[in-house]
Structure 1
């Protein structure tokens, strides 16, 4: 079976990136465009981030920054108010991620209803894409071929392959069976995924010791309601080496705090320039940043809602949660539990620790060649696409068109969201993705 449409776009992936792009493509009532949105799970708007079930699994951006549309910043806040969502501090509220997934479903539904006949949503998995002289062919696992003028890869985040020879457990998986509430556990990773795991344990009234192991032993910082610092573009040292940039950045924070300000204001004020800063660096500076700067950047940039940060800090202060900066070397089964081998940061000796269970919270994969997505594997295998120079995403040009193995950009295949982080780096949060989706939509509508 073959489906054909005039001036059409096929979006592969129905998480936040795919839904936001579909909504932006369908905003213009004068444009005769057809959008087909594919999501194998049939749950649209609820990718890795927004499918979390617990109420305490919250977005880490306040509602005022989570609108689907940058030119309508209160869209999400109005949606919450229409549902009488309790918000004593107004739009500076951090909602459950599952609720934001519901909002994205609403945005998609409204887009389809406002443009009857222009949106098709399919609970199907794409296995490959092929570029033709006229456009793109998207092959589904049921044998259907969808032809369209353009195809956009919006597959979002993928989790890293599980470590520890299958012994470590993913939170919420079938192997995450009930534990003795007093049992000691280990969590690998200290980022936002670790916080989710700790909250899941807390939900079951777990009281046992929780050992959190990561290379740097750093916890995400907490949000405060502060205004972004106004930074003049001419003051930002674009194109300098990483060390020069860091000296400027630290000096700016010190000056801001000396005036009674907050370091969060500086980081938030830098946001409009983050992608340009990244692109101005050499390959060597980018590699240095990924290796040495990213852990520090992540805990300050991707912050926790204040009440969750206070709870976690309290658990650390009480000793129930212990942070360890160490290299994870491996695990093995030991009796009814698990024995983990670590090497503490700055040391050379190995140590073993016995726990009832190890949770793997290594976060999202950072090597696109390790993708489990059949479309990405097929693209790279056929050299119709290639990893970026750092292998943290697909190689795309400044317009988000996918670049093939010969270095030539496609005329019909694009990528959006986290897949493009090699070029843009800061492209994982909704405020950045919605802007990218708007740019791509305007471009495709105008072509």
Structure 2
């Protein structure tokens, strides 16, 4: 076991976007004498689930002007692109391949490590557990060693669910995602951004067969437009009101904006600075109402597609190659090399059987930490040092991102950053939100826990 360093020290568990952004903010000031250990079991830093996509058309869904690692330097990413001669006819309003953004995050981490030799250590290891003691936080690795630091931060990001239906359905890009005949019929479960990735993979392979997209609401993500957000005064936002009242206010604001020649996107983006406050001012039953009834509609308007990808998808639907079905997925069976999928269309009690060559499960990411496959999360929950939030969509944390244990107590030495904090912050899955959280968390850590 390594002894805790006398100087400020942080172990970050997870080397995807959240972990890299936190490390970059901790190391940003070259005069700050802090030791940062960043651990990622895959050994690829800055990639994670979101930015490891290797295909050219798998793009970020935020324009370059909003993807800087640093909120107070919004042109940082755009300058990086320009230095590499990235072509853009629309300036910084360009949507880059996700793999390129992963390379940018790796560059940000590399530059942070250069600012002062010895301040950053990166490890390709799997974390099994963390323990708190008088010496600090001990992070135990699968290789039998451990690291002791003053703080430890979980930055494990998204976790994919196992494919449904006894493994008959497959995940895009997995080992079981083998080549298909070009005219084969395919079903995709889910109609969000993960579905778009699956459709793009098929399109890039020149797939010509019919693609049936099944989701409960049959909704497609909307497309971006280069329109500015409207200015909304916080005094005009109805914090803490009922969901019906809030939605009436929101729809009235959209109608008013569009009546003056504006765009609904300007309203959604103008509300963004208040999203976390809106969420936190709702009682638990209102949050559950939102998740159950409105989240799909919010997602398609809030998490939009690059315009060229949206236009391609709309054309594929119009031509009939992609068929949207609002239905409940019941299950699948494999029969003589084919897959028979059963669905129940919305508003019907009758099951319908469709025969396809493959079912892709694009139902999104896992959010219930009680079913996590991550060993460190399982260990924390099993030993009572962490608990799920009230909605079971992340870990329970306090306002400073400190983990809350089974008794409701927290410590500023064991922290969380990124999507695992969605129960408290909800809007914490995109770079513009995570970078602000990372900067705030870094400030708290560097002040030695004096918030």
Distance 1:319 1:211 in 2: 10
Aligned to 1:118: 119
Q: Note the alpha carbon deviations across 1:220-250, whole angstroms, 9 max, x for none.
A: 0000000001000100000111111111001
Residue of structure 2 in register with 1:101 after alignment: 102
Deviation for aligned residue 1:116: 1.2
- Distance in 1 between residues matched to 2:383 and 2:251, nearest whole Å: 45
Aligned twin of 2:4:
4
Deviations 1:362-409 (A, max 9, x none): 111121111111000000000100000000000000000000000001
Q: 1:202 aligned to 2:208?
A: no
What is the correspondence of 1:47-86 to structure 2 with a 5 Å cutoff?
Answer: 47-86=48-87
1:323-334 to structure 2, matched below 5 A, reads 323-334=324-335
1:216-235 aligned at under 5 Å gives the runs 216-235=217-236
Equivalence for 1:425: 426
Cα distance change of structure 1 residues 19 and 48 upon mapping to structure 2, 3 Å threshold:
same
The match for 1:214 is 215
CA RMSD of aligned residues (A): 0.7
| Alpha-carbon separation, structure 1, partners of 2:331 and 2:273 | 41
Q: Deviations over 1:128-175 (max 9, x none)?
A: 000112320000000111000000000000112210111001111111
Q: How big is the shift at 1:410?
A: 1.9
Structure 2: segments with no counterpart, 5+ residues: none
Report Cα offsets for 1:5-24 as digits up to 9, x if no partner: 23100000000000000000
Q: Which range moves more in the overlay, 131-140 or 118-127? A: 131-140
Does the 8 A contact of 2:394 with 2:421 survive in 1? yes
Where does residue 314 of structure 1 map in the other structure?
315
Matched, 1:400 2:401: yes
2:384 equivalent in structure 1: 383
What is aligned with 1:165?
A: 166
Distance 2:201 2:411 in 1: 43
Map 1:109-148 onto structure 2 (within 5 A). 109-148=110-149
- The 2-side partners of 1:90 and 1:3 are apart by 49
Structure 1 residues 86-108: Cα deviation after superposition (integer angstroms, max 9, x where no partner): 01100000000000000000000
What is the aligned partner in structure 1 of residue 344 from structure 2?
343
- Change in CA separation of 1:256 and 1:28 when aligned onto 2, cut-off 3 Å: same
Displacement of 1:411: 3.2
Matched, 1:261 2:238: no
Other structure's SS at 1:2 match: coil
Unmatched tracts of structure 1, length 5 or more? none
2:46 counterpart residue number: 45
Equivalenced residues, count? 447
Aligned to 1:239: 240
Deviations 1:12-41 (A, max 9, x none): 000000000000000112221100000000
What TM-score do the two structures reach when normalised by structure 1? 0.99
> Does the CA contact (< 8 Å) of 1:326 and 1:343 recur in 2?
yes
| 2:287 is aligned with 1:293 | no
Please say if residues 135 and 148 of structure 2, whose CA atoms lie closer than 8 Å, have aligned partners that are also in contact.
no
- Equivalent pair of 2:152/2:415 in contact (CA under 8 Å): yes
Q: Distance in 2 between matches of 1:51 and 1:243?
A: 39
C-alpha distance in structure 1 between counterparts of 2:357 and 2:30, whole Å: 58
**Residue 353 (structure 1) aligns with:** 354
* 1:12-27 map, 5 Å: 12-27=13-28
CA distance in 1, matches of 2:370, 2:325: 30
SS across alignment from 1:129 = strand
Separation in 2, partners of 1:316, 1:93:
25
C-alpha separation in 2, matches of 1:172 and 1:162: 12
Distance 2:3 2:434 in 1: 29
SS at match of 2:153: strand
Q: Check whether the contact 1:368–1:392 (CA below 8 A) recurs between aligned residues.
A: yes
1:250 aligns with 2:265: no
Contact 2:4 2:150 in 1 (8 A): no
Aligned residues of 2:184 and 2:356 also touching (Cα < 8 A): yes
Distance (Å, rounded) in 1 between the aligned partners of 2:440 and 2:447:
11
Whether the 8 Å contact between 1:3 and 1:145 is mirrored in structure 2 is no
Q: What is aligned with 2:154?
A: 153
1:332-354: CA deviation from partner (whole Å, max 9, x where unpaired): 00211100011000111111100
Per the alignment, in what secondary structure is the counterpart of residue 331 of structure 2? strand
Q: CA deviation at 1:3?
A: 4.8
Deviation beyond 6 Å, 4+ runs, structure 1 = none
**Correspondence for 1:91:** 92
